[in-house]
Structure 1
């Protein structure tokens, strides 16, 4: 289904991603973990063709994605939707219009200029928002929503593209623990119910273990772990993060149960 062969990205003399090879044979949910600067975001940006690789190939169902240009490249970017940490919504635009922007790649320039959307697309956008539990927010400006709600709008926009693959770059990094769980549950349901592959960059080990079928660990641009969540031991985590015996997974936990009463109330207040 998806094959990555020797993918490398250099910035000057530094390799942000260094000779990465991976194969995904069936739809699954993959978590990519590693410390900041490990190459996780660069890897996803190359998969989406937001960044060109220096060496290597990305092949999806026999098509060389790294060779695509123009309209073919844009079609790939629709098939391989990207969700960002900072949401990338238009703050003063209403929620449903933000979601409808997921159709821009297949609309005419004139329709885009005048913000004209077919009724069936509007109905579909509202249905997707309803699926994500935020249909009542459709007429509101995006800037009026909480962070967790805005990230679900970003997920809805990605779903409007009807992608084969969803890439999520640190989708919960700026969210409180409760909203983080809501967003991760939404991504997991999309994988299970739609049969879409979801590749998600994550900082926290408990999140990767809880929601992902497969975990890839990166360090200094290279893949140093590729296996099931059960194989992600504390010793292996130390290797991925380059940490010593003082490394504690609790410091990166997003589990609501680890919060004390005060923090729990603050998390709930932001929903």
Structure 2
């Protein structure tokens, strides 16, 4: 389905992604983890063709998408939808219009300028919002919504493209633990119910274990771990994050249960023997 081969991206003398290779041969939910600067975001941006690769191949159903230009490149970006950490919504537009922007790649310039949408697309957008539990927010401006709601609007916009692959670049990094859980559960449900591949950049080990079928760990632009979540041991985590024996998984966590456990352990340690 998707084959990444020796993918490399250089910025001057710096190598952000260094000869990365992996294959996804069936729909699954993949978590890409690693510290800031590991190359995770650059990898996703190359997969979506927002950033050009310096070398390598990205094959989807046998076609090298790095060779696509113009309309073919835009068609690929519709099939490989992107969700961003900062939502990338138009704040003053209503929620439905933001979702309908997922159809811009197939609309005429005139329709885009005057913000004209077919009734069929409007009904589809509202249906997607209902599926994600935020249909009652449809008429509100995007800026009036909470962060978690805005991220679900961004997911709805991606679904309007009917993509085969959804790329999520740090989708919960700016959210509180409760909203982070809702967003991750939404992405997981989309994968399971629709059979879509989801690739999400994540900072947190527990989130990757809980929601992903497979975890790829990156360090300094290279893959240093690729396997099932249950193989993500403390030793593997130290290798991914370049940490010593005192590495604490709770330090990477946004999961409510892990944070509560860490707070309890800290309180007990302060009480002394």
Fold match (TM-score > 0.5): yes
Per-residue Cα deviation, 1:125-178 (whole angstroms, up to 9, x for no partner): 000000000000000000000000000000000000000000000000000000
Matched, 1:210 2:210: yes
Per-residue Cα deviation, 1:109-133 (whole angstroms, up to 9, x for no partner): 0100100000010000000000000
User: Which secondary structure does the structure 1 equivalent of 2:30 belong to?
Assistant: strand
Q: How does 1:241-256 map to 2 (within 5 A)?
A: 241-256=241-256
Per-residue Cα deviation, 1:217-263 (whole angstroms, up to 9, x for no partner): 00000000000000000110000000001100012222223455xx9
Alignment-derived partner of residue 119 in structure 1: 119
Matched, 1:92 2:87: no
Per-residue Cα deviation, 1:59-101 (whole angstroms, up to 9, x for no partner): 0001110000000000000000000000000000000000000
Matched, 1:104 2:125: no
Per-residue Cα deviation, 1:49-68 (whole angstroms, up to 9, x for no partner): 00000000000001110000
Give the unaligned 5+ runs of structure 1: 264-271
User: Which secondary structure does the structure 1 equivalent of 2:10 belong to?
Assistant: strand
Take 1:259 and 1:8, find their aligned partners in 2: how far apart are those partners?
A: 36
Measured after TM superposition, the shift of residue 38 of structure 1 is 0.2
User: Which secondary structure does the structure 2 equivalent of 1:19 belong to?
Assistant: strand
Structure 1 segments, 4+ long, off by >3 Å, are none
Take 1:165 and 1:258, find their aligned partners in 2: how far apart are those partners?
A: 30
Alignment-derived partner of residue 152 in structure 1: 152
Take 2:70 and 2:181, find their aligned partners in 1: how far apart are those partners?
A: 37
Alignment-derived partner of residue 199 in structure 2: 199
Take 1:201 and 1:258, find their aligned partners in 2: how far apart are those partners?
A: 19
User: Which secondary structure does the structure 2 equivalent of 1:250 belong to?
Assistant: helix
TM (norm. structure 2) is: 0.94
Aligned-CA RMSD value: 0.9
Alignment-derived partner of residue 184 in structure 2: 184
Take 2:112 and 2:16, find their aligned partners in 1: how far apart are those partners?
A: 36
Q: How does 1:6-85 map to 2 (within 5 A)?
A: 6-85=6-85
Contact 2:250–2:259 (CA under 8 A) maintained in structure 1: no
User: Which secondary structure does the structure 2 equivalent of 1:93 belong to?
Assistant: coil
Matched, 1:238 2:238: yes
User: How many equivalent pairs are there?
Assistant: 261
Take 1:258 and 1:9, find their aligned partners in 2: how far apart are those partners?
A: 35
User: Which secondary structure does the structure 2 equivalent of 1:44 belong to?
Assistant: helix
TM (norm. structure 1) is: 0.95
